[in-house]
Structure 1
Amino acid sequence: MPKIADIEDTPNPNAVKFTLHEPLTWGITHSYENAEQAKDDALSCALFDIKHVSNVFYVDKWLTVTQDGEADWPALVRLVAVPIRAAPAAEAQSAAAVFAARTSIAALSEEDQTRLDAINTMLDEQIRPHLKNDGGDLHVVGLDGNQLSVHYQGACGTCPSSISGTLRGIENLMKSIEPDIQVVAV
Structure 2
Amino acid sequence: MFARSIFVRTQETPNPNSLKFIPGVKVLDSGTRDFKSWKEANVSPLAKSLFRVQGVKSVFFGGDFITVTKSDDDTDWSVLKPEIFATIMDFLSSGSPIMLDDADLPVDEGSPKDDDDEVVSMIKELLDTRIRPTVQEDGGDIVYRVGAKEVMFFHLVIPDEREEVEGIGLKMTHDEIVSTAGKGLWEQHGFENGIVKLKLQGACSSCPSSVITLKKGVMNMLQFYIPEVEGVEEVEDEVDKLSKSEFEKFEEKLHKDEEKYGKQ
Asked whether the equivalents of residues 26 and 59 of structure 1 are also in contact (C-alpha less than 8 Å), the reply is no
Distance 1:14 1:179, change over 3 A: same
- Which residue identity lines up with residue 120 of structure 1 in the other structure? K
- Which residue identity lines up with residue 220 of structure 2 in the other structure? N
RMSD, aligned α-carbons: 2.7
Can you list the C-alpha shifts for 1:90-122, whole angstroms capped at 9, x where unaligned?
79xxxxxxxx8673269x66243x433322321
Matched ranges for 1:1-186 at <5 A: 3-69=6-72, 70-85=74-89, 86-87=91-92, 88=95, 103-104=108-109, 110-112=115-117, 114-142=118-146, 143-145=190-192, 146-162=194-210, 164-168=211-215, 169-181=217-229, 182-186=231-235
Asked whether the equivalents of residues 123 and 226 of structure 2 are also in contact (C-alpha less than 8 Å), the reply is no
Larger gyration radius, structure 1 or structure 2 = 2
CA distance, structure 2, for counterparts of residue 72 and residue 26 of structure 1: 32
Report how far residue 39 of structure 1 moved. Answer: 2.3
Aligned-residue identity in percent: 27
CA distance, structure 2, for counterparts of residue 158 and residue 67 of structure 1: 10
**Unpaired stretches in structure 1, ≥5 consecutive residues:** 92-99
TM norm structure 1: 0.81
Asked whether the equivalents of residues 119 and 228 of structure 2 are also in contact (C-alpha less than 8 Å), the reply is no
CA distance, structure 2, for counterparts of residue 119 and residue 4 of structure 1: 38
Aligned to 1:176, what secondary structure does the other structure show? helix
Q: State the number of aligned residues.
A: 176
Deviating beyond 3 angstroms after TM superposition, the runs of 4 or more aligned structure 1 residues are 87-91, 100-103, 114-117
CA distance, structure 2, for counterparts of residue 2 and residue 117 of structure 1: 44
**Unpaired stretches in structure 2, ≥5 consecutive residues:** 99-104, 147-189, 236-264
